[in-house]
Amino acid sequence: MHSARRLTRNFNIRVSECISFQSLNQTIRQLGDLRELYLPRCSSRYEPPATPGGPSIRWPPKLEHLALSGSVSGQFLWDMLQQPDNFPPTFSSLGIYHSPGLDQQGIRPLLNSLAASLTVVELRDLPAVKQGRLNGVLDWLPNLVSLTIALDYIDSRFGNMPPDFSPARWQEAKPLYSLTLVACGRTGDPSRSFTMTDLFTMIDERFLGRLRYLSIAWSTEWQSEDEVLGALDSSIDDLDKENWLERRWHYQDLDFTDTRDMEYEQWRTNTAMGRSMRPRFRLLKNR
């Protein structure tokens, strides 16, 4: 770790050494402008406070994003669970990956304790998490707008969409507008796997009626089914057009005075606002 004085102007820090959390804690408390903290080698050298209930983890006042990986200490997670109010009001983003010892029983309580704050979450490379164990993440985090998750941890019941959900219930759509799906190479039960058809249905029925950005990693092998993949791409476009025509969600409060005579295709192609707000479907070949 560098000295606190040298880090005062940094907005993000990646801890590349396996240090004690007490040393890290003393340092980051002095970094008032720190926005992002990455702990790629979470040490097992975590010692709880000497006095039960005494001061523990104190996060910087402007922290927005925290990434945890490596051998995350159970006691460290427990202290985070017990003191969620120690996170500042700015905190909204959490990444957990490359943590071989963490399973659903360790992850879910942490997400639940931070549910009011979290809007962006990334969950991948967690070999102890079994198929289907993170199906409920959209329910656990009611304010979630951006999710990156491995297919290994979900199945056909992902999202818990009610059987009778239909476009008529569009106002009940999940707030999620960005979804990235990756795969970590584990083989689950193929009969239960979350498929492109499952995702298409969630979009088509408007359960994911606010989705705008969809990214599919090459590791999912979904690219081998061109026809269904094309249908997914089209479904994102169709959904966005519907939301634009009905002035729903992110289009609700926009001023369309100067473009009211435009068709949707013209608006998203010929205006700066349209180009910046158009939906995006991507295949991630490097993931």
Same domain assignment for residues 138 and 259: yes
Same domain assignment for residues 181 and 255: yes
The number of distinct structural domains making up the chain is: 2
Say what the pLDDT of residue 251 is.
96
Q: Per-residue pLDDT for 147 more than 70?
A: yes
Q: Closest Cα to residue 24, out of 76, 84, 98, 64?
A: 76
Q: Per-residue pLDDT for 41 more than 80?
A: no
- The reply to whether 98 falls in a domain is no
CA distance 71 to 80: 15
Q: Per-residue pLDDT for 54 more than 70?
A: no
Q: Which domain holds residue 245?
A: 119-287
**Contact indicator for 37, 63 with CB cutoff of 8 Å:** yes
Three-class SS of 50-91: CCCCCCCCCCCCCCCEEEEEECCCHHHHHHHHHCHHHCCCCC
Q: Per-residue pLDDT for 250 more than 50?
A: yes
The least confident of 44-48, 74-78, 138-142 is 44-48
CA distance 232 to 6: 48
> Which residue did the predictor score with more confidence, 276 or 59?
276
Say what the pLDDT of residue 40 is.
67
Same domain assignment for residues 69 and 5: yes
- Other CB atoms within 10 A of residue 198 CB: 16
Say what the pLDDT of residue 5 is.
45
Same domain assignment for residues 81 and 181: no
Confidence of residue 108 (pLDDT cuts 50, 70, 90): very high
Same domain assignment for residues 208 and 276: yes
Confidence of residue 82 (pLDDT cuts 50, 70, 90): confident
Q: Per-residue pLDDT for 23 more than 50?
A: yes
Q: Per-residue pLDDT for 50 more than 60?
A: no
Same domain assignment for residues 176 and 225: yes
- In the DSSP assignment, the letter for residue 130 is P
Q: Per-residue pLDDT for 118 more than 90?
A: yes
Q: Is 266 helix (H, G, I), strand (E, B) or coil?
A: helix
Same domain assignment for residues 180 and 86: no
Say what the pLDDT of residue 225 is.
84
- In the DSSP assignment, the letter for residue 187 is -
- The reply to whether 25 falls in a domain is yes
**Mean pLDDT across the stretch 69-82?**
75
CA distance 31 to 92: 18
Confidence of residue 45 (pLDDT cuts 50, 70, 90): low
- Domain termination residue (choose one: 76, 91, 106): 91
Q: Per-residue pLDDT for 32 more than 80?
A: yes
Confidence of residue 46 (pLDDT cuts 50, 70, 90): low
Q: Per-residue pLDDT for 242 more than 50?
A: yes
Percent of residues, the chain, with pLDDT higher than 70: 85
- The reply to whether 245 falls in a domain is yes
Say what the pLDDT of residue 212 is.
98
**Mean pLDDT across the stretch 188-213?**
95
